[in-house]
Amino acid sequence: MMKKDIKTDPIFYRRFSPRSFIKKDISKDDLHALFDAARWAASSYNEQPWRFLIGRKNQSSNYDLLLSCLNKNNQKWADQAPVLILTIAKKTFSKDESPNRHALHDLGLAMGNFSIQACKFGIMIHQMAGFDIGKARSLFQLKEDFEPVSIVAIGYTDEVKSGRNRKPLDEIILNDDASPNT
């Protein structure tokens, strides 16, 4: 339940991960704006370790290859999305090839930016962990330094979500001094 005195932007409450998409393409300009929002995410040492492999339905072979990497349950609904992307994290720093233990965190933040920008356009995304990582690595000839993280279905939906919930703030904030109840 949301407290009335919390000043969170309402866009965060509208975001959800649909499992159905309508037949409506995403313009190239809108898609570029989503990636631009991702590009501006903060990252450790400004490394920007995120990479995205794009597949547009009926426009590139990447789409069918990405779809083939998904597990059967995700394939059942994801093939409705006009765009699929593979998110990838570069696991080492470019400056010296030392391990970047924050690469997944940074990719997550980039996808947070992507997700909220999408929501502002009325576009929804559904990130999926249910895919064959080895197959994706092989099909797209990814170097060992690049870790496939998720496949994302992107599109417009007429699906309505109700009854969504989140853990209360006092359950996720571990420092009593920061708890909303103190």
**DSSP state, 44?**
G
pLDDT (0 to 100) of residue 170 = 87
Q: What is the mean pLDDT of residues 37-58?
A: 97
Give pLDDT tens digits for 64-79.
999 999 999 999 999 9
Give pLDDT tens digits for 106-150.
999 999 999 999 999 999 999 999 999 999 999 999 999 999 999
**51, pLDDT greater than 70:** yes
**177, pLDDT greater than 70:** no
For the chain, list the domains and their CATH numbers.
24-149 (3.40.109.10)
